[in-house]
């Protein structure tokens, strides 16, 4: 199995999801081949919950990574779980049109380009 997918599955096990019990793991590969992981971290208010994909991006940025090639997202669902809208926005702004690899616990995998999951994104070009 791909190291990126394995890292996402392992990150899922570290999720803090006491309210929804919906554990998600993410693994983001930077241009140097390093893997940065994240898991969802829930909060009792739900609105302050952080998704696994955003945790991985923010960790990678805080560690100095600035260019990325792909992200894997792991969840325990029969229909593979894509990033939510907020995560798609963050991924677009920080990673661009990366490959998005979705995986479940049975090993089912689907691959997409972010532009196909997030057509016509809002980015810095609109802020000027």
Domain boundaries, the chain: 3-121
In tens, the pLDDT along 10-27 reads 999 999 999 999 999 999
53 a catalytic residue = yes
Indicate the pTM of the whole model: 0.95
User: Diameter of the chain by CA atoms?
Assistant: 46
**6, 29, 53, 99: which is the annotated catalytic residue?**
53
In tens, the pLDDT along 28-80 reads 999 999 999 999 999 999 999 999 999 999 999 999 999 999 999 999 999 99
CATH 3.40.140.10 fits 3-121, yes or no: yes
Checking if the pLDDT of 128 tops 80, the result is no
Distances (CA, A) of 81 to 25, 70, 71, 77, 103: 11, 16, 13, 7, 8
CB 91 within 8 A of CB 71: yes
């Amino acid at each position: 199995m791909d190291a990126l997918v394995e890292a996402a599955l392992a990150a899922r096990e570290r999720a803090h999801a006491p309210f929804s019990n919906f554990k998600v793991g993410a693994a983001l590969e930077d241009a140097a081949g390093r893997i940065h992981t994240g898991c969802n971290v829930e909060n009792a208010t739900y609105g302050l919950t952080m998704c696994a994909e955003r945790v991985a991006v923010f960790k990678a940025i805080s560690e100095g990574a600035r260019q990325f090639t792909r992200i894997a997202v792991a969840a325990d669902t029969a229909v593979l779980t894509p990033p939510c809208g907020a995560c798609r926005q963050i991924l677009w702004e920080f990673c661009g049109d990366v490959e998005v690899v979705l995986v479940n616990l049975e090993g089912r995998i689907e691959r997409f380009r972010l532009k196909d999951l997030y057509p016509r994104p809002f980015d810095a070009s609109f802020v000027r």
